[in-house]
Structure 1
């Protein structure tokens, strides 16, 4: 909470001992105290503004310090001149990441980065549990999990812009792939399945 210069000045004057030596209000002593009061008011404004700097989501002045402490992003998302809002979101996600091994944790990471995904796990088929028409799933598939997400787009070969050797077309992959591969458990294999419509 910040105070106006006049409020601080009244507080300083109220702390003085009464007496003849202080003179009249609005005199030399009040002018000297007003200079201290204005400095204190500026300090309180700066301190109030600093409260926004402690959280990467609202930080502007200290955002580069957060980024410096965190180091370069493992997925290179900080290299293509991101907007301030993107930098704040990414820095907050990296600064507050606690780690986790559950599907809800992975879904929350995707949500924080602005992606809507579904995760599907596989379990090996067991005799006595299979029904007619079910797929056979071999051993080892319990370490694979599929991430379903919407396709970002498709990039076509363009005459005049593309070069010989470029593919005739390629899917634009989602930025969440690198992050999920990075935080996936060492014994698991994430597989990404893109859909043309939004992931439900």
Structure 2
């Protein structure tokens, strides 16, 4: 007997039905099992609604066309895959520094951005870079020399590495999202 079956028995009118009768008891147990099973399935569906739960990850990746084409062949942990899904869902588009910093943060990277301006009379000083021509359209993402993504309990699967190094997913996603006319540079370490 289950607790749910006992609760269902309490719902029976006490004078009309005997909750311990064999046929009625079997029917109540079957109903309790069906309700328990539907509750478990509803919980799984509810969890899959939220991409950051990691449930239904394969479906999220299929819908969002992940992994990105520039990441084919690159092994990713479950956590990195979930971060890619969340990043793609949150990225509505933008061209500001804060947008790209937040996009990188959603992928697990802490970055800063440097923009370049051509030298102007009255502003530039002796020894400053001139930055003419295409430098008007260039910007550099500054990231740590080594970015390590560690395995997290509940967000890792069997076979995932305990730690992963690399900036391929950062470069891939920011290159996809950058304005078309801009020139994106990446700088790692002290810049």
TM range (shorter): 0.7 to 0.9
Measured in 1, the distance between the counterparts of 2:146 and 2:49 equals: 34
* Counterpart residue number, 2:176: 182
The answer to whether the 8 A contact 2:71-2:172 is kept is no
TM-score, with length taken from structure 2: 0.75
**Deviations along 1:65-108, whole A, 9 cap, x unmatched?**
11122224334435334222222222222233211111111111
- 1:84 is aligned to 2:78: yes
- 1:98 is aligned to 2:92: yes
* Counterpart residue number, 1:168: none
- CA separation of 1:135 and 1:82: change in aligned 2, threshold 3 A: closer
Measured in 2, the distance between the counterparts of 1:173 and 1:42 equals: 43
Higher relative contact order (CA 8 A, sep 6+): 2
Aligned residue runs from structure 1 range 4-23, under 5 A: 5-7=2-4, 9-11=6-8, 13-14=10-11, 16-17=12-13, 19-20=15-16, 22=17
More displaced stretch, 176-185 vs 71-80: 71-80
- CA separation of 1:9 and 1:71: change in aligned 2, threshold 3 A: same
Measured in 2, the distance between the counterparts of 1:101 and 1:5 equals: 58
**Deviations along 1:138-182, whole A, 9 cap, x unmatched?**
2542211112223349xxxxxxxxxxxxxxxxxx97312222121
The answer to whether the 8 A contact 1:63-1:88 is kept is yes
Name the count of aligned residue pairs. Answer: 172
Measured in 2, the distance between the counterparts of 1:132 and 1:186 equals: 33
Of residues 59, 64, 68, the one that matches 2:62 is: 68
TM-score, with length taken from structure 1: 0.72
Of residues 125, 133, 141, the one that matches 1:147 is: 141
The answer to whether the 8 A contact 1:72-1:78 is kept is no
Aligned Cα root-mean-square deviation (Å): 2.8
Aligned residue runs from structure 1 range 41-52, under 5 A: 41-52=36-47
- CA separation of 1:125 and 1:84: change in aligned 2, threshold 3 A: same
Q: Which runs of 5+ in 2 are unaligned?
A: 148-164
Of residues 126, 131, 147, the one that matches 2:125 is: 131
Measured in 2, the distance between the counterparts of 1:80 and 1:125 equals: 41
The answer to whether the 8 A contact 2:97-2:113 is kept is yes
Higher helix share: 2
- CA separation of 1:125 and 1:58: change in aligned 2, threshold 3 A: same
Of residues 35, 38, 42, the one that matches 1:40 is: 35
Q: Which has the larger radius of gyration?
A: 1
